[in-house]
Structure 1
């Protein structure tokens, strides 16, 4: 199991880079770089590539609406080149608020679009001429559109790797099934290693049944905050877990419309039906602190690694049993380097 972490898109980037450099020495394997509607992730990943030596650098995520499919492939090839084969391409659909509100692009067919992008990226990285006719991507531009001068092309340079790993940040239903079928890896949210089958089990099983064996086993990146200490029980553990309440309430309560919030659906599928409804009601009413207080303590405990070393070892075993290949952690405390070193020794 690899250790990974995600930097904060609204934090102090240069301070985060300095931390990544230190954590790389401590054994951190992967750093994920988000984008949302902040600074672009590509420039930051290129900077990280220059400042590090061994750590893998992944996008989490770049959306498939703001760049063309071949531009995404060029970007993957370019970042893999400057990092000397250390790039992971994390793709996702984002949501209509960002895609339509910030990028001015219709939020249409997100699942088929990601599948098309995966296909085009793999084709491009293999230096095949890009000739592709999918439900959302047609390359070259079809006859009768544009100038008529477009012709099939292949990428000029020889990519460092023709199999850059592609992870898909999917949430529900057919998208999760398609992830298990087509992607190298999966970037879920609110992953409870003992209960995730209640939310995604059927879809993962169905997708794996149709998966090309050449892709290998589906990789999974999941985890949460990590803090290790004999005194981290009861109120002390809860005080750390409480850090996750505002963001959880934001997703469960404020992302999407009242009747179409996938994060809320995930919480309900975990069995927290009343809590999910109450969180959303309070959040949409402007009672954000109240909404955060309603996030179930059990869910926070199950989706993070906070407690004595023995407890954290048990959680690591649960993640391994669930098939997690990349444990994504946020080391909480004054000495994250020591925390990562201790966690690494437990793997």
Structure 2
């Protein structure tokens, strides 16, 4: 298992933690990842970081597919990969219906079929074997809708490309996880619980791999994991309660919240219902207080150094291959690198 660094997306003013990323590059951390929601984009800050680092891989976790045509995403990936010396990791995802339809203004319908077509088109563009044509349910290239001019021409990218740029998919639902294992090079889960992998994720990962004739060997399972090292365990827990309350309680509508559903699959149905009820009623503080310590321990590494070292062994014994840390300071980063070396 290797370490990655997850920076996420920005709210308010975007200030990149340059010291943190430079230290991660110096220490040999595998990759740094940026994200986007409906504010900062994932690619611009990553390019800024690429210009100021030397070895660390540069990943998007994720580029929102509904916000870009497949060709536009492929162009970005090929350009970025060339300029960075082959360091780009292409993380893709759908986001959710609130953002897709409320922000990007496009349909969220049939997300699995759209994802499958999108990734296939991107891979064809990378391969540059022929001018691009595609006849899918959601994408037709050249475009041939009722309002088409009829002048569309199949094109092949003018830019040389590495056909093996790794493609990762963000997924947490059963069918999405299966699809990621089938068609992607890696999987970017959030709030991953290693002790519940066998019961919650393993059947879907294995089914997807089997469909593609693949094995776990070479498939990068790369969850985002918050790390808070603090001698006061209660302080460590409280630092993560706001984020979990936001996702479980408010990141999606009632009945259409993927993070709520995952907490339920982990066995926290009662707590998840309380958190959601309180959050949607506007009592965010009470919602945060209801986040169980057991849920935090299931998906994060928190507490004194010795406790984090002990619980890190759970992650080492899981199929996780890249542990993408969310850390808040350079000292925690250095500590995690030291613990991984022990």
- Shorter-chain TM-score bucket reads over 0.9
Residue 67 of structure 2 aligns to a residue in which SS? coil
| Alpha-carbon distance, 1:166 to partner | 0.8
Q: How does 1:105-116 map to 2 (within 5 A)?
A: 105-116=106-117
Could you tell me how far apart the structure 2 residues matched to 1:215 and 1:334 are?
Answer: 32
Residue 297 of structure 2 aligns to a residue in which SS? helix
Shift of the 20–208 alpha-carbon distance from structure 1 to 2, 3 Å rule, reads same
1:249 aligns with 2:245: yes
Between 28-37 and 190-199, the greater mean CA deviation after superposition? 190-199
Residue 182 of structure 2 aligns to a residue in which SS? helix
* Aligned counterpart, 1:153: 155
Deviations 1:255-304 (A, max 9, x none): 22212211111111111111111111111111111111111101111222
Could you tell me how far apart the structure 2 residues matched to 1:334 and 1:16 are?
Answer: 9
* 1:267–1:276 CA contact under 8 A, matched in 2: yes
| Alpha-carbon distance, 1:200 to partner | 2.3
Residue 19 of structure 1 aligns to a residue in which SS? helix
Deviations 1:166-195 (A, max 9, x none): 111112121111111111111112111011
Q: Name the Cα RMSD after superposition.
A: 2.1
Residue 196 of structure 1 aligns to a residue in which SS? helix
| Alpha-carbon distance, 1:95 to partner | 1.4
* Aligned counterpart, 2:128: 127
- Under a length normalisation based on structure 1, what TM-score does the superposition of the two structures give? 0.91
Question: Could you tell me which of 246, 261, 265 is aligned with 1:265?
Answer: 261
| Alpha-carbon distance, 1:26 to partner | 2.2
1:193 aligns with 2:189: no
Could you tell me how far apart the structure 2 residues matched to 1:240 and 1:214 are?
Answer: 37
* Aligned counterpart, 1:324: 320
* Aligned counterpart, 1:180: 181
Residue 77 of structure 1 aligns to a residue in which SS? helix
- Which ranges in structure 1 are unaligned for 5 or more consecutive residues? none
* 1:282–1:291 CA contact under 8 A, matched in 2: yes
* Aligned counterpart, 1:297: 293
Shift of the 152–334 alpha-carbon distance from structure 1 to 2, 3 Å rule, reads closer
| Alpha-carbon distance, 1:42 to partner | 1.7
- Which ranges in structure 2 are unaligned for 5 or more consecutive residues? none
| Alpha-carbon distance, 1:214 to partner | 9.1
Deviations 1:209-268 (A, max 9, x none): 212439953211124232457xx3xxx123112211111111111122212211111111
| Alpha-carbon distance, 1:143 to partner | 7.3
- Under a length normalisation based on structure 2, what TM-score does the superposition of the two structures give? 0.92
Shift of the 13–4 alpha-carbon distance from structure 1 to 2, 3 Å rule, reads farther
Shift of the 228–187 alpha-carbon distance from structure 1 to 2, 3 Å rule, reads same
Could you tell me how far apart the structure 1 residues matched to 2:307 and 2:20 are?
Answer: 26
* Aligned counterpart, 1:9: 9
* 1:4–1:29 CA contact under 8 A, matched in 2: yes
